[in-house]
Structure 1
Amino acid sequence: MTGAGYLADGLPMNEPIAAEPRPPGSMQLAHREDFRLGRALVRPSLRTVEGPLATLTAEPRVMQVLMALADVGGAVLSRADLLEVCWAGRIVGDDAVNRVIGELRRIARETGAGFVVETIPRIGFRLVGEIENIPVQPAVEASPGDVEARPGLDRRTWLAGGLTVLAAAGGSTWWMAKGSGNRSAAQQIAEGRRILRELWPDQDERGVEVLREAVKIEPGNARAWGLLAMAWRNVAEGAPPDRVSAAVTGCEEAARRALALDANEGNALAALATLRPYLGDWEAAEDRMRRVLEVAPDNPNVLLHLVTLLQSVGHARASWDLNERAIAKEPLSPPHQFRKALKYWIFGDIAQADLTIDRAMQLWPKYPAIWSARLYIFAFTGRTQAALTLLKDRSLRPAMFTSQLEERWQVALTALEAPTAGNLAQVRRALADEARPGFAVQAVMFLSALGDLDAAFAVAQGFLLRKGPLVGSIWPAQNQMISPDDRWRRTMNLFTPATMAMRADPRFIPLCEGIGLTRYWQARGAGPDAFLMPDQKLSSMPSPSSRGSPAVASPERTENL
């Protein structure tokens, strides 16, 4: 067959289809291994990007450019590099390259893939997003002359002469390294780890499903059992009332199996240490977590929860240090990044808070906690119009964001923008009269920032102490977007700039006494960080920062809180 045609990857050619091996630079897609990029599954042979929002098919050239950028693992490729690899060295105009880059960005945005193609001015482009190989089964009886069988070719070899070698071999059977059959335990574990690292609210049960398959394949794998325990623990945190007990049992059983195989399996220990809510149980909960760190110092699951606990008790500097430690282990974990942004806000570095949360929004659009953090930082730094604009942008809203939640945010932001008597009365009705959870954490912050401290304390007392007229169910309405901070009644919001007026009020210490915080501070010999409590006697207690802390130094508190 001669004449104009298409190669296996869909690229046009004018020679006979099987005339000769392709020259270096004409990247083949047909036999490239699937891999994960950000939150997406990239299938080069099918030219698809499968993200949480959509699955899109890329043009051949677009997929080639994506592969070239992925092959160098975040390094910069110049336009000349891309022309050599993806256009076989042919000279094309800048418009052709720009069109492909623009299409890649559209695919990333519309699939929710969680990667960014960054332009480096006057130099080139690079890919920002975590790349993870998907392990495959080892090859069966590969001959000595074949390329060594292994879990997929290292993508970096493609730009280091890999194509030249393959072309010279005349199309050798290197793809025999790709196994067949069902996914291996290693694949299931890799997928489970990704789910646990990203913590998308709608993926908890998927994590259990994936890791149950892993332990079915390898019942003697302690790590798989430990990760399964952690997955069950996450389900328990967000499950509806009729499913919580089963998830708790699943966590305990999986942890028991893991620890029977390895008494120091860190994930199982972390799951058990963080399974219970720690409101009022601060000291014991912290002790459980720190015992896990003695055995597994870098376990990301226990670090995540200790960061939360320390912020919840007003130890913001110590919480910062541990979050930086977690980021060093998992730099592309969404929870670590939105917490970093919020901590910059707490310490008064608004410029860094903006940069950090905007990067997170680019990588993980529609991630509920990232979206909420962006709203907080806008709302409580005098930029309510920007917050209202974001609220109206339906393309960025998280799933399960209800019209009721939109109305509450709208009322609260409008009152911050224009605190008239009418707007304040409306915000009190909308926030302080709401007895169900789902917005209590935000209501306390907004009411405090607006100076309506009576209403702020009424919500906080009903929410945290179960006292007063605003005591309601701790369970949200079905299909409502709610964070574990509401479900487990966490108190990080009490130690933010939005609630500074509450902390200066005489009612704050009795509130802290009621939830066991003063008892915790006395037992630890360390009150909240002094910059958080400028007008309270508790600030005279030694703070964690005065005793020093390991790891990364926290930013200095600035004056624009």
Structure 2
Amino acid sequence: MQLLVALARARGGIVTRDELIAWCWDGRIVGEDAINRAVSRLRQVASEIGGGTFAIETITKVGYRIVDAALAAKDRSHESEPSAPTASRRNWLFGAGAAVAGALGTGLLWRKPWQHRPDPEAVELVRLGDLAQRASRPDQTRQAVSYFERAVRIDPLYGAAWGMLALSYTHGLDGFSEAQLAGLPDRIRSAANRALELEPDNPDAQLALACVLPYFRNWSRLEPELSRIQREYPDHWLANGRLAILYYQVGRLKEGAALHMGVIKRDPMIPGPYAFAATALSRAGQIQDADALLKEAADRWPANPFLWHTKYDHLLFTGRAGSAAAMLMDPETRPSGTGDAEVAPFIRLARAIDKESPEDIEASVEDQVRMSRDDVQSIAFAAPVFALLGRPDLTLASLERYYLNEGSFGEPSPIGPYTRRYTDQLYWPAMTSINSDRRFRQLTTAIGLSDYWDSMDIDPLSLRA
């Protein structure tokens, strides 16, 4: 219906493919196939109406225009009837509109794409921002924000750009302390609300508003909203991804991996889902599947830092610490800017686990304690490492600091309403050593995770099975 309206309002003029994308897909990135399918369906409807009421003419390498089929035939035979076009066009427009509505299904919203035609420069910036956001790299995430901010400055009425800006802002919440947030939640809400004013069903804005809150302590609150968004927009890659990550936080590893695998099937050129799905499969014991997925991803993006770290973790925790060390020692496989000093503690850790040397193990424990004290976010990796190195006391002590800001491990780190803390590391097989410890249950009860497990009838002892 949107395609028909866009073509009809041009009154026989040519509508370019870029204009159709802006009007009918709100400037979102769509392929040639999406446009071709829509045109093909509209042509099929035209043929089914009978009488050759209207036709879609392709203007090679330019776009399309809608024509009165009967008049077009007469034009081709050099005949003309100047009094007919106005009434004829009105008749076939109404007839075609009813037919398209019937053919494509009832309940379609009349989106009035002519109300705002996005600025072409803004559309291009949104396209670039979307590509940058999909790269799963911190530097590219910042670049995406810059593209979207420029797009809304150029075209303040571009709802899709506001929605994508709001969603890109949410990436900045991860890994930041409360003091560093500096009003970011307010900026997310402002951009998302602006998008919804311009485009009430904007999925990016809805997802951004849902993701202002952290998963931590909000699992039960966020799951229904994220599930709704994913259900209503099943092809939205981040809607699937955000729900998958929530599943990982509560131990529903295979459900989360299935969502990310669906994203990969629909769009195999986004690296992030490979890393998330491979990690979940690894923790669920599907080692060969995780190996294959990481191999496929490495062939596509040999130096992506997210995939590189994921492969190291996977090898380290699946009994292949020697291979993990070898990977880090090879400078050709390292992401750009990763030097020897940065990888040294992790090579030492892999060797300690591989050789089981008490001296090396103790040195690695000290490395992880030091890094965790310098940055509380490092505990998310250090806690399962402590368990792997046979130090469950440090695992529990570090998690007490990480989740509750209590105990003697490390420096105090206040936890506010927007502070991100993650629980997916609880499901590494190495963490089974603390499952039966009463302090583990006390910890999960204190943060509300036990209540979630009980409400879903989940046995935490079976989460790694």
TM (normalized to structure 2)? 0.68
Contact 2:435 2:461 in 1 (8 A): no
1:428 touches 1:455 (CA, 8 Å); kept in 2? no
CA distance in 1, matches of 2:180, 2:358: 44
1:400 positional shift:
5.9
In structure 2, the residue matched to 1:492 is: 424
Distance 1:404 1:427 in 2: 15
| 8 Å CA contact 2:303, 2:333 repeated in 1 | yes
What amino acid does structure 2 have at the position aligned with 1:275?
V
Mapping of residues 350-369 of structure 1, within 5 Å: 350-369=287-306
Contact preservation (8 Å) 2:386, 2:392: yes
Match of 1:263, SS?
Answer: coil
C-alpha change, 1:474 and 1:334, in structure 2 (3 Å) is farther
For the residue of structure 2 that corresponds to 1:279, the secondary structure is: coil
Separation in 2 of the partners of 1:355 and 1:474? 39
Q: Does 1:398 align with 2:332?
A: no
**Structure-2 residue corresponding to 1:309:** 246
Tell me: CA distance 1:529–1:305, structure 2 relative to 1, closer, same or farther (3 Å): farther
- How far the C-alpha of 1:402 sits from its partner, in A, is 6.4
Instruction: Give distance in 2, aligned partners of 1:132 and 1:359.
Output: 24
Q: Which residue of 2 aligns with 1:442?
A: 381
Structure 1 runs of 4+ off > 6 angstroms?
130-133
Aligned residues of 1:317 and 1:529 also touching (Cα < 8 A)? no
Q: Corresponding residue for 1:26? A: none
What residue in structure 1 maps to residue 394 of structure 2? 455
Match of 1:552 in 2: none
Provide the C-alpha distance between the structure 2 equivalents of 1:192 and 1:469, rounded to a whole number of angstroms: 44
CA gap 1:474/1:372 in 2 versus in 1, 3 angstroms: farther
1:131: how far off? 11
> Does residue 388 in structure 1 map to residue 325 in structure 2?
yes
Q: Within the alignment, does 1:336 sit opposite 2:336 as a pair?
A: no
Aligned equivalents of 2:196 and 2:258: distance in 1? 29
Q: Does 1:518 align with 2:450?
A: yes
Matches within 5 A, 1:366-377: 366-377=303-314
Match of 1:292 in 2: 229
What is the CA distance between 1:311 and its match in structure 2? 1.0
Whether contact under 8 Å (2:136, 2:306) holds in the other structure is no
SS in 2 for 1:278: coil
Instruction: Summarize the Cα distance change of 1:474–1:231 in structure 2 as closer, same or farther, 3 Å threshold.
Output: farther
Kindly state the Cα deviation for residue 285 of structure 1 after the two structures are TM-superposed. Answer: 2.1
- SS of aligned partner of 1:286: helix
Deviation at 1:348, TM superposition (A): 2.1
- Give the residue type in structure 1 aligned to 2:262: R
Q: Structure 2 stretches of 5 or more lacking a match?
A: 1-28, 33-56, 65-118
Q: CA contact under 8 A between 1:300 and 1:326: conserved in structure 2?
A: yes
Distance 2:166 2:244 in 1: 20
Determine the structure 1 residue equivalent to 2:286.
Answer: 349
Partners of 1:227 and 1:359 lie apart in 2 by: 29
Q: In structure 2, what is the equivalent of residue 464 of structure 1?
A: 403
- Residues 506/243 of structure 1: CA separation in 2 closer, same or farther (3 Å cut): closer
Q: Structure 1 residues 150, 216: CA separation in 2 closer, same or farther (over 3 Å shift)?
A: farther
Mapped to 2, the partners of 1:529 and 1:222 lie a distance apart of 46
Show the 5 A alignment for 1:128-527: 147-150=60-63, 184-238=121-175, 244-399=181-336, 401=338, 405-433=342-370, 434-437=372-375, 438-472=377-411, 488-527=420-459
Amino acid at match of 1:502: I
Give 1 or 2: higher helix fraction.
2
Write out per-residue CA displacement over residues 438-477 of structure 1, whole angstroms, 9 at most, x where no aligned residue.
53222112221222211221222222221211143659xx
Q: Distance in 2 between matches of 1:473 and 1:323?
A: 35
Q: Distance in 2 between matches of 1:353 and 1:366?
A: 18
Could you tell me how far 1:284 is from its partner in structure 2? 1.0
Give me the whole-angstrom Cα distance separating, in 2, the residues matched to 1:517 and 1:209. Answer: 37
Residues 132 and 262 (structure 1), Cα distance of their counterparts in 2 relative to 1, 3 Å cut: closer
Give the C-alpha shift of residue 369 in structure 1: 2.0
Distance 1:474 1:399 in 2: 31
| Conserved 8 A contact 2:257-2:281 | no
Residue pair 1:436, 1:473 contacting (<8 A) in 2 also? no
**What percent identity do the matched residue pairs reach?**
24
Matches within 5 A, 1:66-145: none
Once the two structures are superposed, residues 157-214 of structure 1 have per-residue CA deviations (whole angstroms, 9 ceiling, x without a partner) of: xxxxxxxxxxxxxxxxxxxxxxxxx963322221122122223111222112111222
Q: Residues 350, 525 of structure 1: CA spacing in aligned structure 2 closer, same or farther, 3 A cutoff?
A: closer
For the residues of structure 2 that align with 1:356 and 1:447, how far apart are their CA atoms? 27
Q: Aligned partners of 1:403 and 1:491: how far apart in 2? A: 30
CA contact (8 A) 1:200 1:367 kept: yes
Going from structure 1 to structure 2, the CA distance change for 1:420 and 1:239 (only over 3 Å counts) comes to: closer
2:252/2:463 contact within 8 Å kept? no
CA–CA separation in structure 1 for the residues paired with 2:434 and 2:368: 16
Deviation at 1:528, TM superposition (A): 4.1
Q: Distance in 1 between matches of 2:287 and 2:161?
A: 41
* Native 8 Å contact 2:405 2:413 kept in 1: no
Aligned 8 A contact 1:357 1:374 in 2: yes
Which stretch of structure 1 is more off in the superposition, 275-284 or 425-434?
425-434
CA apart distance, 1:230: 0.6
Over 3 Å counting, the alpha-carbon distance change for 1:462 and 1:241 in structure 2 is: closer
**Partners in 2 of 1:304 and 1:348 — Cα distance?**
21
Q: When the two structures are superposed, what TM-score results if normalisation uses the length of structure 1?
A: 0.57
Following the alignment from structure 1 to structure 2, what is the Cα–Cα distance between the partners of residues 361 and 500?
30
Q: How has the CA–CA distance of structure 1 residues 131 and 390 changed in structure 2, closer, same or farther, with 3 Å as cutoff?
A: farther
Q: Classify 1:305/1:529 alpha carbon distance in 2 versus 1 (closer, same or farther; 3 Å).
A: farther
